[in-house]
Structure 1
């Protein structure tokens, strides 16, 4: 990437962006032609520059789903850098961005679960409920990851949401989420038991009991 473009993305200078486009109209096209590349949107996401990111999405929507050479989308980087406002704004602009699969199959939603960002996890579920079905390459879903990373508050958010959804489609939620086995044939409940995580274990048992009476 042109260092001047990188600096413009870091500082959030939209005027500088257009100066560079005026100098080279194919500036963004050349970046987009590369399969795995750091785009100006990656840089803006890392810096939390919302106005610049919105302008970049206006010009090049494809950048939002482009992975860099490390296997991460712009939203992955925003989560990694703890740019909560940026994540929320991007979710409003395109709710599907939280489901973009990156390295090891991790989506921004699953990364939020792993990092313990309960409020943003709840926001993702409200805007893109299908993300509860997403899983990593080793077939671990959000519940697996919440247990593995000891994120009990996030687990409460996830199971609370599942309870509400179970009132509509109990069997489907049970098969696709609660009883989902990973590559080692472990359900989230199994992992909680193996880790001696009593809070998580009894939370899952409560959910199983709850389902019997809905």
Structure 2
């Protein structure tokens, strides 16, 4: 029966699959409980049989988590072949399979990037963005893999979706950045892209003490090398080695950079210490900062919205249970009547109720705005947009705190009013101080980043002008 099921997977024959399951309902379960080099789902995913894959997943979705003898999941095999629809079906069952690494230390995103399957890569990144930050063997990132395989379009996609300064400048265990690899392979378009569109550090040194410019001869005869050298020099690249290297030495160094880890994909070496200015935080391996912020903001915004809604429909002091004179007692009603179902606080303390309503509504609308922006599908993947959303969240939290204060003031009797005001005043001062510190810290960070970006842009514009004038 198992042999027939393998044959059905090879052919993508769903009719035969259903017949076999009709004869033996536990046939697929044996591939979960037993030991097999691969499952029928592996075979169907590798061959792109979408209907067969959907049929298997509908009955035993657990098979999507099974690994073959090379620790490859069905998603690995679909990514290697570029079967987008098959990959989508597998992702719907368990998107966390994007994080699973095979025997070579590659997850499905690494494989799709190295193969240049852009549509599939885009789908995988959208499903689990932080999977792109998982390091491969020898401490290499997915960007290193793109350069090694000369997949410029995949590199551009990843830089636009998941990159930041530390990630772009990450060094492997030999200290080589993606710029070192690109120059060693003489990938002119990749080098120009890195220099013009990323924050790559052109003066970063590898473990042998070579910068990117050291990998080029000082007297370039090759037009491609000359073009690369001119581009680097425009970005103020410098040489770390005073003594020029011979062409034979340069060739040996380039070969070492390109082949040191590529020939031994399964070799696991102990990570070397990185320089502080070019380290990639280890926690980023399994979690993307932006994605975690999105999840936290969504959770807190949903909680605040629920609190504000509940406080709005069930206001402090409750609602009148019957019709009658307003006021705390019949003698204080002043001839006003209350209506069952309306707010007690609104009748007895209208000013306090108005303040409460203003702050509660502000917090409610701010929370709903965050939820709407996060589910809108807009590309809010930049730190700046996360900063804007956090500012809105501060507004929502502050509004809810103010609504609480308005309620406490309105519900406090006269004989305890002074002591409550002193306590609340102290709390307000502490709260304002904390908010100002947070706002100042984030504002300084934004200003520093903006200054660095403007300075770099001005340098790029001024360098060609000075070159033409000389």
Please tell me whether residue 182 in structure 1 is matched to residue 172 in structure 2.
yes
CA distance in 1: counterparts of 2:18 and 2:185, whole angstroms: 53
Asked if 1 retains the 8 angstrom alpha-carbon contact of 2:10 and 2:44, the reply is yes
Q: What residue in structure 1 maps to residue 453 of structure 2?
A: 213
SS at match of 1:110: helix
Q: Which runs of 5+ in 1 are unaligned?
A: 164-172
Please tell me whether residue 137 in structure 1 is matched to residue 377 in structure 2.
no
- Summarize deviations over 1:112-140 as a string: whole Å, max 9, x none: 11011122222222232112212222222
- What TM-score, normalized to structure 1? 0.81
- Summarize deviations over 1:125-184 as a string: whole Å, max 9, x none: 223211221222222221000100111111111122246xxxxxxxxx333x21222222
SS at match of 1:191: helix
CA distance in 1: counterparts of 2:58 and 2:99, whole angstroms: 20
CA distance in 1: counterparts of 2:143 and 2:110, whole angstroms: 9
- Summarize deviations over 1:23-42 as a string: whole Å, max 9, x none: 33432222212456311101
Q: Compute the displacement of 1:93 (Å).
A: 4.3
How has the CA–CA distance of structure 1 residues 190 and 132 changed in structure 2, closer, same or farther, with 3 Å as cutoff?
A: same
Aligned pairs (5 A) from 1:5-154: 5-34=5-34, 37-154=37-154
Q: Compute the displacement of 1:89 (Å).
A: 3.6
Q: Compute the displacement of 1:69 (Å).
A: 1.5
If asked which structure has higher relative contact order (CA below 8 Å, sep 6+), I would say 1
Q: Which runs of 4+ in 1 moved over 6 A?
A: none
- Size of the aligned set, in residue pairs, is 203
- What TM-score, normalized to structure 2? 0.40
Q: Greater helix percent: which structure? A: 1
SS at match of 1:7: helix
Q: Which runs of 5+ in 2 are unaligned?
A: 201-448, 455-470
Asked if 1 retains the 8 angstrom alpha-carbon contact of 2:82 and 2:117, the reply is no
Asked if 2 retains the 8 angstrom alpha-carbon contact of 1:45 and 1:74, the reply is yes
CA distance in 1: counterparts of 2:36 and 2:96, whole angstroms: 20
Asked if 1 retains the 8 angstrom alpha-carbon contact of 2:135 and 2:142, the reply is yes
Asked if 2 retains the 8 angstrom alpha-carbon contact of 1:9 and 1:43, the reply is yes
Q: What residue in structure 1 maps to residue 389 of structure 2?
A: none
- Summarize deviations over 1:81-121 as a string: whole Å, max 9, x none: 33233224433443333332112111111111101112222
Asked if 1 retains the 8 angstrom alpha-carbon contact of 2:182 and 2:191, the reply is yes
How has the CA–CA distance of structure 1 residues 99 and 36 changed in structure 2, closer, same or farther, with 3 Å as cutoff?
A: farther
Asked if 2 retains the 8 angstrom alpha-carbon contact of 1:36 and 1:67, the reply is no
